[in-house]
Amino acid sequence: MEAQGPEIRPVDAPKIATEAAAGQSAAGSSISASRRDHLLSITDSALGYMSLEDMLSELLGRIREALDVDTAAILLLDEDRGVLLARAARGLEEEVRQGVQVPLARGFAGRVAAEVRPIIIDLEHAEVVNPILRQKGIRSMLGVPLQAGGHVIGVMHIGTLALREFEEDDVTLLQLAADRAALAIDDARISEMRAVTAIMQRTLLPETLPDIPGLRFSAKYLPAGTGVKIGGDWYDVFQLNDGRLAFVVGDVVGRGILAASVMAEIRTALRAYMAQGHKLTEVVSMLNDLLVSMGRNRGATLSILALDPQAEELEAVTAGHLPPLLVEPTGPPRLLEQRPGLQVGVRSGNEYEATRHPFPVGSRLLLYTDGLIERREESIDVGLQRLTAAAATAAREPKTNLADDVYRALLDETPLADDVALLAIETLPLEGPLEITLPTRASVLAGMRRTLARWLRAAGANEDEQFDVTLSTSEAAANAIEHAYGGNESTFTILCEQESDRITVTVRDLGRWRTARPPGGGRGLPIMRELVDDVEISRGDEGTVVKLIKRLSGQT
């Protein structure tokens, strides 16, 4: 119904203006003085100590009294969905209980918010979205916008059962109360959002980065501005079943809780698909189809990479994300050349292609989101050039942290316009004795074997010897895991040492074995004895120690 124009009058419409000027000034001012007193008591400081819920309810109660109306209500704007939601009401409590929603720009409240001005209506002739207003028999309404920080955050409206011509005084007083309410709502929202943001960021970003010998990780997450609205940027690092490490950096379109919850869905889906053993390209296609089928209507870009530390190779897939930056041991930093792929979540059936890149010792990789390089009125290429230049400077200081260096060079002085997620991965040489402490969990074995094989290669072991020592160690480790004390998760350590051509690996089980079973069960021990030169097993009060000794042939 579009024929609402005539009934909805802005307050500065001639009729009100004439009424206000029609010699009511004496009565009007006295009324308004007493009302203003009343209202000052409404907005007294005691309200500041109440919870938001109590405060709004109390405020509406006082407004109802001061303005002599039957109903008073507050609706708040949900920006993500473009609707007003009933938040507090007096005389109209059903409105809140039933969760009344009014689309922006429609109906009475919707127009007040969309047009950002007070509106008065006569319900008999106007379009009303909310059925409760009619059921209640409300005849006249006055609504004013709630504004904070220059934005409309909602609407406050009052209503009467009897037909009433609201006056300019009423409008002024209601707006005064609305401003007070808006301030309180905004304050409460900011602290609530800060708390939610802090929790979301704690739960959505990895708690700790993996501690893997020979690899160094550094990450940063920087929320833009006040950090009130959580962004959709994230990073993730996790171990794959095949011993590789997966790195993800991504960016969900938009900000706020909705963007963050889509990011949480993506993060979970990626980990789940990867754990099932799918290829990187399949994982991204599956994720894309999943998001589209869920109807999220939120695009996201992401970069996903898997590092094989033993083969020193990276596999990379991109879904519309900015290219990772590669800093090789020699040569200038460059952007990873990838097969283009569309962002996920927009249309189903996307296919992705992977690329493979050597990642030898001394290489560094930086994943980031667009907030790192994008500046207003500047093309993305300029930003990418600035990034490679900053990385080139940082690369001259290989001992420092790449994520920190690049961040300092690009953003330290600039207030953030957008969130930034940064993740840097570096491969370091594995030299000297190596000690690894791991949880007694079988899923750690594949990654442990990669690290050990790398160390053995650095120690001069040939392919066969790397395999022999690695697999034997794995058998001893599997045993430590299987017999972890009481079946509870504890830890075990692996110490790798080299003395000229002699390699010694000591696997120490910190838990106590309940049953003194030989390590490796039936087949494990014979395998160890066959693959290494000597196997020593000792059981003490502190646990079991398996010592594996192998002499390197010196031949490749």
CB-wise, 186 or 308, nearer to another protein?
308
**Could you tell me which stretch among 103-111, 165-173, 402-410, 442-450 binds another protein (CB under 8 A)?**
442-450
Cβ neighbors of 379 (< 8 A, separation 6 or more) are none
Q: Which of 54, 463, 501, 536 binds another protein (CB under 8 A)?
A: 463
Cβ neighbors of 239 (< 8 A, separation 6 or more) are 210, 245, 246, 443, 444, 446, 447
CB of 212 to another protein, least distance (A): 16
**Could you tell me which stretch among 44-52, 213-221, 375-383, 519-527 binds another protein (CB under 8 A)?**
519-527
CB-wise, 234 or 359, nearer to another protein?
359
341 three-state secondary structure = coil
The span from the CA of 159 to the CA of 40, in Å, is 21
The span from the CA of 232 to the CA of 419, in Å, is 8
The span from the CA of 250 to the CA of 235, in Å, is 6
159 three-state secondary structure = strand
Q: Which of 137, 225, 432, 521 binds another protein (CB under 8 A)?
A: 521
Question: Using the rule CB under 8 A, is 95 a contact of another protein?
Answer: no
Question: Using the rule CB under 8 A, is 445 a contact of another protein?
Answer: yes
Question: Using the rule CB under 8 A, is 524 a contact of another protein?
Answer: yes
Q: Interaction with another protein in 284-323: which residues (CB under 8 A)?
A: 310
| Beta bridge pairs of residue 498 | 503
Q: Interaction with another protein in 118-137: which residues (CB under 8 A)?
A: none
Q: Which of 478, 484, 507, 552 binds another protein (CB under 8 A)?
A: 478
Cβ neighbors of 176 (< 8 A, separation 6 or more) are 39, 43
Q: Which of 471, 505, 545, 552 binds another protein (CB under 8 A)?
A: 471
Question: Using the rule CB under 8 A, is 276 a contact of another protein?
Answer: yes
CB-wise, 98 or 276, nearer to another protein?
276
Question: Using the rule CB under 8 A, is 442 a contact of another protein?
Answer: yes
The span from the CA of 250 to the CA of 300, in Å, is 7
With b for 16 or more beta-carbon neighbours within 10 A and e for fewer, the 164-190 pattern comes to: bebbbbbbbbbbbbbbbbbebbbeebb
Q: Interaction with another protein in 329-358: which residues (CB under 8 A)?
A: none
CB of 467 to another protein, least distance (A): 4
DSSP letter for each residue of 33-60: HHHHHHHHHHT-GGGGGS-HHHHHHHHH
Q: Which of 446, 458, 495, 537 binds another protein (CB under 8 A)?
A: 446
**Could you tell me which stretch among 28-36, 59-67, 399-407, 471-479 binds another protein (CB under 8 A)?**
471-479
260 three-state secondary structure = helix
Helix residue ranges per DSSP H, 160-254: 168-204
The span from the CA of 386 to the CA of 332, in Å, is 13
Question: Using the rule CB under 8 A, is 489 a contact of another protein?
Answer: no
CB-wise, 36 or 279, nearer to another protein?
279
Q: Which of 44, 187, 192, 530 binds another protein (CB under 8 A)?
A: 530
Q: Interaction with another protein in 150-169: which residues (CB under 8 A)?
A: none
Q: Which of 145, 243, 320, 333 binds another protein (CB under 8 A)?
A: 243
**Could you tell me which stretch among 140-148, 340-348, 426-434, 465-473 binds another protein (CB under 8 A)?**
465-473
Contact (Cβ atoms closer than 8 angstroms) between residue 90 and residue 157 = no
Q: State phi, psi for 325 to the nearest 5 degrees.
A: -100, 130
The span from the CA of 85 to the CA of 95, in Å, is 9
Question: Using the rule CB under 8 A, is 112 a contact of another protein?
Answer: no
SS3 string of 127-138? CCCCHHHHHCCC
CB of 269 to another protein, least distance (A): 14
Q: Which of 362, 482, 485, 512 binds another protein (CB under 8 A)?
A: 482
Question: Using the rule CB under 8 A, is 439 a contact of another protein?
Answer: no
123 three-state secondary structure = coil
The span from the CA of 477 to the CA of 510, in Å, is 12
Question: Using the rule CB under 8 A, is 443 a contact of another protein?
Answer: yes
Q: What is the largest CA-CA distance in the chain?
A: 111
Q: Which of 188, 224, 527, 549 binds another protein (CB under 8 A)?
A: 527
Contact (Cβ atoms closer than 8 angstroms) between residue 445 and residue 489 = no
CB-wise, 189 or 278, nearer to another protein?
278
Question: Using the rule CB under 8 A, is 553 a contact of another protein?
Answer: no
Cβ neighbors of 358 (< 8 A, separation 6 or more) are 312, 313, 314
The span from the CA of 524 to the CA of 526, in Å, is 6
Question: Using the rule CB under 8 A, is 511 a contact of another protein?
Answer: no
Residues contributing to the site for another protein (CB under 8 A): 241-243, 276-278, 310, 442-443, 445-446, 449, 463-464, 467, 470-471, 474-475, 478, 481-482, 520-524, 526-527, 530-531
